[in-house]
Every structure is written in structure tokens, then in C-alpha cells.
Amino acid sequence: MADRAQPLSAWPGRTAAIGVAVLILGTLCAVALRAEAGRGLGPSDWAALRFTVLQATISAVLSVALAVPVARALARRRFPGRRILIALLGAPFILPVIVAILGLLQIFGRSGWVSQVFLSLGLPPLQIYGLHGVVLAHVFFNLPLATRLILQSWQEIPAEQFRLAAQLNLGASAMFRLIEWPVLRHSCPGALAVVFAICLTSFAVALTLGGGPRATTIELAIFQAFRFDYDLGRAALLSGVQLILTAGAALLALRLSRGGGIGTGLDRSLKRWDSHHISAKLADVAWIMLAALFLLMPLSAITLSGVAGLLSLPDAVLSATLISMAVALASTAILLALALPMAAAVALGRGAMIEMSGILGLAASPLVIGTGLFIVLRPVADPFAWALPVTALVNAVMALPFALRILVPQARAVVTRYSRLSLSLDMTGWQFTTIVLLPRMRAQISFAAGLAAALSMGDLGVIALFADPDIATLPLQIYRLMGAYRMQDAAAAALLLLILSMGLFWLLDRGGRHHAET
């Protein structure tokens, strides 16, 4: 495809890719150059490194270990609402982190629902701050992701394998050893690596639930060195360590996620003959109900506690809401301006380096990029005055890898199908883009836009580095309310953030699909 005439030029996509690469690699170089030569990690830095690896390891192991029985139960059972439950497993991905943390506090905190039950039984309340709190929050976010990854592999097992196992009268243990274990052996290592990489770069969870110097991650140490100590050399050194850890985990996740095949079949509907025993039914129902309760209870707590104060929010919350909306919409516009030409260039068959540039955001931490931008802007401008544009830009770059995964397959299909016809009609460039390409990608564009808006709306990362007391997005304002122990106002603001994030995603995604179907 790359050697024949094309209806589009790849240069806009290449230019966008170069811009992304310059932004990420340039900020990383700025961080590296700022690091002091010969300066090593101090005791507190080594403690942060050990805690980062420890909490990421425990979180990944627990998330995947709990996801296996949940995925198995969903693979074996058919019940009303199953599709909705599986769809809800994707909700934590776009759920604002600060909202989920506040919900977990209302369930598992010292004054939470579980602690109240413990107190009524004469037991001490739960302690959510520290390592166990960080791990709990990470399991909440990553259990659904691990379940979806393992369930997808489980559902790819050909139905003929289970039919043959039934004909051979294999027991449950034999079926697990011969059929299910090979699937887990291929899917679990990749899921472990993915969750581990995500937990390495978690910032808001450690910021709110870390609980002091003994529970500090590298991301949080970068924030403290930058924001409180104003030690740019230490922040730069820690940023380099963070980059090495994250890049290594991302490469490991990509390598392990490739896996091997598990056989082919005739695409018959999957029917299990090993799940009719009452013990198997009870176990599956228990795992599904526990997973559903674990995911839905924090959101229910936020709704119940926040609805009363929703109409009497402080003016600071309303101002932060407008700022968050503006940042989210700007981030979405920047994302589409980058992702659409890059997806089109990849579809033309000239996109190996462009795709590589697009996934750089997975290896770089938002705080590392924010630190680099601060170092670059500081000699020529006041970095704090650029807090909101920088936040929108970094949020767009962080969402770019996901947007490309959404856009590229459809762009490739449209270019493959319509390029010759368009060339015969002398329809190239802007005409091909507006008449052929964009209308047939409307659903994917809307999905990517909704995802970017929701992720940006709930982000608590770069804005925490740059914001001053007079400027705050809604997640940052919620964090400040929590720090001031105004939990009622924080719950109401969190409910507002949840409604706006989910509403933006639904409106953008649904709007595109509606027009695409007419």
C-alpha cells in the first residue's frame, strides 16, 4: 500500500508524531540534564523505590489472583444482566481516581461502613492509610481490568475442547489441568505485567492514602521534591529512575501479552459441562456477587453521601468545575488534532515510527513530563501561569496511545476500501478526509473523544505540580476539601465530578454512534 498513490499525505501524521516525540523525549532530556552529576539516591529515595516496587507487586498479584475465579465464574455462567456487569468492569478505567478513593474511604475508612460494623461488634476500626490502603485502591481499579483480560482469553477457548472433555468424562480437576491451565499460563503473566506497570505510576492513590514517609512512592517523592523542597536535581534524578522502571514494566507487559494460541474451533457457542454441580454454582455466584459489591459499594456510598450537598456546593467547587470542563475540552481537541492525522498516516502503511511515537506516553510518567516542562518553561516564562494549558497538553498525550488503538483499525479499513475509488474520482486530500474518512470514523472518533474527556476530567497529576491556591481543577479541589476534613462538601463535589465525567463520555460517545447509524 505504501508504494502506490494514496488519497492522503502522511506528512500531517508524521508532523504530529514528531511533535509528540519532541515533547516527551525533550522533557525527559531536560530532566536528565538537570540531574546533578554524581549524585546518588538518598535513604528516603531508596525507601520510596522499595515501597513502589512492593506495592505494585502486591497489587498486581492480588488483582490477578482475585480476577481468576471472577473471570472463571463469568465464563461459566449465563444470567440476566451479565452483559451489563461485564460492561461495568470497564467503568473503573474512566472513573476519576479521587472519586473512587473517597468512596473507598466511606466504606473502609475509620468512620466507614465496615468500621461501623466492627465497632458495633466491639472490634477496632479499620486503618486504610499506608500500604494496605494503597493496595486496596489499586485492587479496586485493576481487578476489573485483570478480569476483562483473563475473561477474554477464557472465552477464546474453542467449545469443541469442552465437548471433547465431556465425551471423555473428564473430571473438574482434569479439565482445569488440560484446558484452563494453559489459558491461565498465557494470560496471567501479561495481566500481571500490565497491572504492575499501571501501579508503578499511580500518583493520586499514594498522595491520598500513602500515610507518610514509610508509604511514599517514587511519583509522590518526585512531587514532594518539586513542590515542597524545590529540589529540581533530586526530582530529575527520581524522574530518571521512574522512567527506567515504567519503560521496563511496559516492555515486559507487551512481551508477555503476546502469548500463544490455544487452538481453533467452529465458533460454536461455548457450553460448559463442568459447572452443573451445586458447589460450582455456589462458588461462582459468590465470586460474582463479591466482585459486584466491591465495585459498586464505593460508588453507592459517594452517591448517598453526596446527593444531599449537591445543591449547596461552595463557590470554589463551582469555579473548579468550570476549569475542569475547559481543560477536558481543550485536552480532547488537542488529542483529536494529534490522533487523527497519526491514525491516517498509519493507515497509509507508513506508520511504524508513528505508532512508536504514539505509545511513548505509556512509558513516560505525567509527573516526569510535567517536571521537564517546568524546567523548560522556567527560563522564559512563569510555569505556574501555564498550569492549565500544560495540564491539557499532558492529558492529551497520556490518552494518545488509547486513542490510536481505537482509531487505527477503522482508518486502515476505510483507506483500504475506498482509496482506489477516491483516486479514480480525483478525490484526494481534504476532500477525501471530509467526505470519505471522517464520516466513516465518526463512531471511533466519538469514542476516543469521550474517553479523553473523561480521563482528563478526573486527572489529578500535573495540575498538582503547577497549580497555585487560586487555580484548581475539580479533582484537586476535592483533594483540598478532604485535606481540610470537609468530607460532606468533598462527597458532593465527588458526585458532581462522577456525573460530569460519565456524562461527557456518554454524550460524546453516544452522539457519534447516533449519527453514524443514521
Summarize pLDDT for 317-369 with one digit per residue, the tens. 888 999 999 999 999 999 999 998 888 888 887 666 777 777 777 667 787 78
- The answer to whether 336 and 402 have CB atoms below 8 angstroms apart is no
Among positive and negative, which fits the CA dihedral 502, 513, 151, 166? positive
User: To the nearest whole percent, how much of the chain has pLDDT over 90?
Assistant: 9
End-to-end CA distance of the chain: 31
Among positive and negative, which fits the CA dihedral 420, 422, 426, 429? negative
Nearest C-alpha neighbor of 239 from the set 479, 20, 24: 24
- The answer to whether 149 and 190 have CB atoms below 8 angstroms apart is yes
Q: Provide the 3-class DSSP secondary structure of residue 371.
A: helix
What lies within 8 Å, CB to CB, of 518 at 6+ separation is: none
Radius of gyration of the chain (CA): 24
- The answer to whether 159 and 271 have CB atoms below 8 angstroms apart is yes
Q: What is the DSSP letter of 133?
A: H
Query: In this structure, is residue 314 part of a structural domain?
Result: yes
Q: What is the pLDDT of residues 95-153, one digit of tens each?
A: 888 888 888 888 888 888 888 888 888 888 888 888 888 999 999 988 888 888 788 77
What lies within 8 Å, CB to CB, of 270 at 6+ separation is: 75, 155, 157, 159, 162
Nearest C-alpha neighbor of 91 from the set 432, 518, 505: 505
Average of per-residue pLDDT across 418-446: 79
- The answer to whether 280 and 286 have CB atoms below 8 angstroms apart is no
- The answer to whether 140 and 104 have CB atoms below 8 angstroms apart is yes
Could you tell me the three cell numbers for 328?
A: 477536558
Backbone angles phi, psi at 472, to 5 degrees: -155, 140
Q: What is the DSSP letter of 213?
A: G
Measuring CA to CA, how many Å separate 453 from each of 63, 98, 164, 342, 497? Answer: 27, 16, 48, 19, 12
pTM of the model: 0.78
Average of per-residue pLDDT across 242-257: 71
pLDDT, residue 518, reads: 42
Query: In this structure, is residue 1 part of a structural domain?
Result: no
pLDDT, residue 512, reads: 53
Could you tell me the three cell numbers for 143?
A: 481487578
Could you tell me the three cell numbers for 51?
A: 515501597
Query: In this structure, is residue 175 part of a structural domain?
Result: yes
Q: What is the DSSP letter of 180?
A: I
Nearest C-alpha neighbor of 52 from the set 365, 378, 355, 376: 365
Backbone angles phi, psi at 77, to 5 degrees: -115, 145
Q: Residue 443: what residue type?
A: A
Contacts 24+ apart (CB under 8 A), 233-236: 233/34, 233/35, 233/36, 233/39, 234/39, 234/45, 235/31, 235/34, 235/371, 236/31, 236/32, 236/33, 236/34, 236/35, 236/36, 236/371, 236/375
What is d(CA 461, CA 466) in angstroms, rounded to the nearest whole number? 9
Q: Residue 412: what residue type?
A: R
Residue recorded with cell 493507515: 347
Query: In this structure, is residue 39 part of a structural domain?
Result: no
Query: In this structure, is residue 38 part of a structural domain?
Result: no
pLDDT, residue 267, reads: 43
- The answer to whether 406 and 447 have CB atoms below 8 angstroms apart is yes
Nearest C-alpha neighbor of 191 from the set 218, 137, 152: 152
Q: What is the total count of domains within the chain?
A: 1
* Diameter of the chain measured on Cα atoms: 81
Domain extent, residue 270, equals 11-33+45-516
- Residue 435: Cβ within 10 Å count: 14
Q: What is the DSSP letter of 169?
A: T
Query: In this structure, is residue 192 part of a structural domain?
Result: yes
Average of per-residue pLDDT across 450-454: 89
Residues across the chain: 518
Query: In this structure, is residue 6 part of a structural domain?
Result: no
pLDDT, residue 4, reads: 55
Could you tell me the three cell numbers for 506?
A: 456518554
Query: In this structure, is residue 407 part of a structural domain?
Result: yes
pLDDT at 269 over 60: no
Backbone angles phi, psi at 57, to 5 degrees: -65, -50
CATH number of the domain where residue 130 is located: 1.10.3720.10
What is the band of 271 on the pLDDT scale with cuts at 50, 70, 90?
low
Mean predicted lDDT score pLDDT of the chain: 80
What is d(CA 145, CA 142) in angstroms, rounded to the nearest whole number? 5
Q: What is the pLDDT of residues 9-52, one digit of tens each?
A: 778 888 888 998 888 888 878 877 776 655 677 788 888 888 98
